[in-house]
Amino acid sequence: MIYKGSCHCGKIAFEVDGELTGAMACNCSICSRKGALMWFVPRDQLRLLTAEEDMRTYTFNQHVIKHHFCPTCGIHPYGEGVDPKGNRMAAVNIRCLEDLDLASVPVTNFDGRAR
């Protein structure tokens, strides 16, 4: 299934192809403040519909995850990194997906604060 998503103002828009069977809520210092619910997909399943230079990127701690956000509205629609096997991944904030019933998506809690 193809999902469409964006930041609040629409300056960062994207499509993501995959089966959304669950999301992760992380309690690390940035995720807990953002309130993001992340869905991990291979990076090639996420397609930007707007210019990459329209977004900003924030990294912290070990600087391995690129947290992308809109400089206009401040929303964080997705991040990028690599999985333990070295595959490029996207972490899509499902709160930014259109027409999605969030209550229908099972959420797993992850203790990112302890890492």
Across the chain, which has 115 residues, the per-10-residue mean pLDDT values are 97 97 92 92 97 91 88 96 94 96 94 78
Find, among 79, 103, 88, the residue nearest to 28 by Cα.
Answer: 79
Q: Which structural domains are found in the chain, ordered by start?
A: 2-110 (2.170.150.70)
Q: What is the pLDDT of residue 23?
A: 97
Q: What is the pLDDT of residue 102?
A: 94
Give how far Cα 113 sits from Cα of 10, 32, 91, Å: 31, 9, 17
Token output for 58: 């924030």
Give how far Cα 6 sits from Cα of 26, 34, 82, Å: 21, 15, 22
Q: What is the pLDDT of residue 109?
A: 93
Token output for 87: 């595959």
Q: In degrees rounded to 5, what are phi and psi of residue 32?
A: -65, -35
Q: In degrees rounded to 5, what are phi and psi of residue 8?
A: -65, -45
Q: What is the pTM of this model?
A: 0.92
